[in-house]
Structure 1
């Protein structure tokens, strides 16, 4: 039971993987889904860092794209046990105008 719950990068798990026949490793790899595996705190922080870099790259591409089709936003790195959420709805121009009036007390300037 203790060995089964060791982190994948531990010396014991590495030794077990190194001793496994290639056929067993291939069979395990076929059905593997990394997003359903156990993640350490470091893995989760790394996924957040990757998402942040991807968002910054997307923002950079948006700012430097003139005309034409804008690049789609990047999908976040899938996390284990976290279902994918659908895209959030965008705010409508009428809702944006109302929000602007509530915040500033004046009508928004025309775009």
Structure 2
């Protein structure tokens, strides 16, 4: 199919293409896995060689993959919300 396109058609397709939404090959998946593992090794190495009282760096984010949404940050609850949940669990709704 690609060889049947003229240069103009090929350029037009390239302009509106969205490669980040395309499926990944097996090789691309393997490279992303290596990237993620290397980031984890680097994180562990930094944590192991830093002062125990210093602030630890945040764990690395995995490489985004097509079709997989990024993890949503966990919502934190206030003390008031936690007290309400505690009362409801312990029979406070009755």
Q: Same fold (TM over 0.5)?
A: yes
Name the TM-score class by shorter chain: 0.5 to 0.7
The CA deviation string for residues 50-104 of structure 1, in whole angstroms up to 9 with x for no partner, is 100100110111111102211111000000001112367xxxxxxxxxxxxxxxx
| 4+ long deviations beyond 6 Å | none
- Give the TM-score taking structure 2 as reference length: 0.56
* CA RMSD between the two structures: 3.1
For structure 2, list consecutive stretches of 5 or more residues without a partner in the other structure. 75-94
Matched pairs, number? 69
For structure 1, list consecutive stretches of 5 or more residues without a partner in the other structure. 4-11, 89-111
CA change 1:72–1:36 in 2 (3 A) is: same
- Give the TM-score taking structure 1 as reference length: 0.48
Alignment of 1:1-111 (within 5 A): 2-3=1-2, 28=15, 35-66=20-51, 67-86=53-72
